[in-house]
């Protein structure tokens, strides 16, 4: 990474289209139980390339593994985690991006807002390229990623890889309010 790999994320308020106020913040170990709880109630299970895992023990193992390999943001509402983004470095200048939004908060702008915060944070950390994979049938996700500037890459079966080039200025950080 060319930036600050340990760039801290400042908690940021996120508003939904329905007027709810959420808190976007960097994931910490103290969030573990609430994040497991979010994924236990997450639907549909295993719809996104087999994720999230189907039960609490497997969810916990998956999250522990992610914690060792990447950095994450969460969105909280009324002391519950309702969304989770993950950046897992692939190389020093590139990372894989993933997002999950609890079904009760979808189609409210949470995914876009938390993704924009995560992309800005990735840029601050010096990542130049972000990759993700998603299912082509997940039209909401593909639409979100295209709005964020991700370009379609490889397609295999019902899955595709998308790429965002942060270094070439194809993505602009969110405008300050």
Could you report the per-residue pLDDT of 68-84, keeping only the tens digit for each? 889 999 999 999 999 99
Nearby residues of 4 by Cβ (< 8 Å), 6 or more positions away: 124, 125, 126
pLDDT digits (tens, 9 = 90+) for 139-151: 989 999 999 999 9
Whether residue 170 has pLDDT greater than 70 = no
Q: Are 171 and 124 in contact (CB under 8 A)?
A: no
- Give the Cα separation of 76 and 80 in Å (integer): 5
pLDDT digits (tens, 9 = 90+) for 98-154: 999 999 999 999 999 999 999 999 999 999 999 999 988 889 899 999 999 999 988
Q: What is the pLDDT of residue 1?
A: 47
Mean pLDDT rounded to a whole number for the chain: 88
Nearest to 166 by CA among 100, 95, 112: 95
Count of CB atoms within 10 A of residue 6's CB?
Answer: 8
What predicted TM-score, i.e. pTM, was given to this entire model? 0.87
Residue spans of beta strands (DSSP E) within the chain? 12-15, 21-26, 71-77, 80-91, 94-101, 129-135, 151-156, 159-165
CATH of domain 12-165: 3.40.630.30
| Average pLDDT value for residue range 29-40 | 94
Domain limits, the chain:
12-165
Q: What is the pLDDT of residue 37?
A: 95
């Amino acid at each position: 990474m060319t930036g600050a790999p340990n760039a801290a994320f400042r908690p940021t308020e996120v508003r939904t289209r329905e007027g709810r106020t959420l808190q976007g913040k960097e994931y910490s170990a103290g969030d573990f139980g609430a994040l497991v709880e979010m994924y236990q109630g997450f639907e549909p299970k295993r719809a996104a390339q087999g994720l999230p895992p189907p039960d609490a023990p497997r969810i916990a193992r998956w999250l522990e593994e992610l914690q060792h390999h990447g950095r994450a943001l969460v969105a909280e509402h009324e002391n519950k985690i309702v969304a989770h983004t993950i950046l897992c470095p692939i190389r020093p200048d590139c990372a894989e991006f993933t997002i999950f939004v609890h079904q009760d908060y979808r189609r409210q702008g949470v995914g876009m807002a938390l993704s924009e915060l995560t992309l800005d944070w990735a840029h601050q950390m010096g990542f130049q390229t972000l990759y993700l994979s998603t299912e082509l049938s997940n039209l909401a996700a593909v639409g979100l990623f295209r709005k964020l500037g991700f370009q379609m890459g490889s397609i295999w079966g019902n899955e595709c890889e998308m790429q965002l080039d942060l270094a070439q200025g194809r993505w602009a950080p969110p405008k300050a309010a």
